């Protein structure tokens, strides 16, 4: 099974959308194998978003993501990375389809409620930033025989 990193960003936490995000993940058939709420450290935020370090929005992105609690998750399932990206919707909420998290709850790119890894490699790196190996639980959901061929 594939794993991906998902974060409900501070705006999603402040707006009370954590349960909605988790519900959409679970209803789709993906499982949560690690979950934590905390205020991300500045070092972790800089490491997480290091590919954007040269972009003009980097400083404000870091300031925002450490401004309040966020919820970090490891989400697991077949094709978890592309499925989670589809659940989230386009990064720019204006382009996000209705029925996606961003299409239903976001207006601006800088406050787009959620993050999900964009590749398996990014997922591994991001999971390693936010969780140690013992915090990720491997288990089988009872409905997996009905989800997978």
Instruction: Indicate whether 40 pLDDT > 90.
Output: yes
Q: What is the pLDDT of residue 138?
A: 87
125-139 pLDDT tens trace = 999 999 998 999 989
Instruction: Indicate whether 111 pLDDT > 90.
Output: yes
Sequence-distant (6+) residues with CB within 8 A of 107 are 93, 94
Instruction: Indicate whether 74 pLDDT > 90.
Output: yes
Residue 115 catalytic? Answer: yes
| Residue of 48, 52, 115, 130 marked catalytic | 115
44-58 pLDDT tens trace = 999 999 999 999 999
Whole-number mean pLDDT of the chain? 97
Q: What is the pLDDT of residue 105?
A: 98
pLDDT band for position 91 (50/70/90)?
Answer: very high
Architecture of domain 2-132: 2-Layer Sandwich (3.30)
Percent pLDDT > 70 in the chain is 100
Average pLDDT over residues 56-71: 96
**In what side-by-side order are the strands of the sheet with 114-116?**
31-38, 70-77, 2-8, 114-116
Distance CA 130, CA 56 (A): 25
Q: What is the pLDDT of residue 55?
A: 94
Residues β-bridged to residue 109: none
DSSP of 42-81:
HHHHHHHTGGGTTSTTHHHHHHHHTSS-EEEEEEEETTHH
Percent pLDDT > 90 in the chain is 98
Average pLDDT over residues 26-30: 97
Domain boundaries, the chain: 2-132
């Amino acid at each position: 099974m594939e794993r991906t990193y998902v974060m409900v960003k501070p705006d999603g936490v402040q707006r009370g959308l954590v349960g909605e995000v988790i519900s959409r993940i679970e209803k789709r058939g993906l499982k949560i194998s690690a979950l934590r709420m905390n205020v991300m450290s500045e070092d972790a935020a800089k490491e997480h978003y290091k590919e954007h370090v040269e972009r003009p929005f980097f400083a404000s992105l870091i300031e925002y993501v450490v401004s309040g609690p966020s919820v970090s998750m490891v989400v697991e399932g077949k094709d978890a990375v592309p499925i989670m990206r589809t659940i989230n919707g386009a990064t720019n909420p204006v382009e996000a389809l209705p029925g996606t998290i961003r299409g239903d709850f976001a207006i601006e790119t800088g406050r787009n409620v959620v993050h999900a890894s964009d590749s398996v490699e990014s997922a591994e790196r991001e999971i390693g930033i936010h969780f140690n190996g013992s915090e990720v639980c491997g288990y089988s959901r009872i409905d997996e025989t009905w989800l997978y061929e």
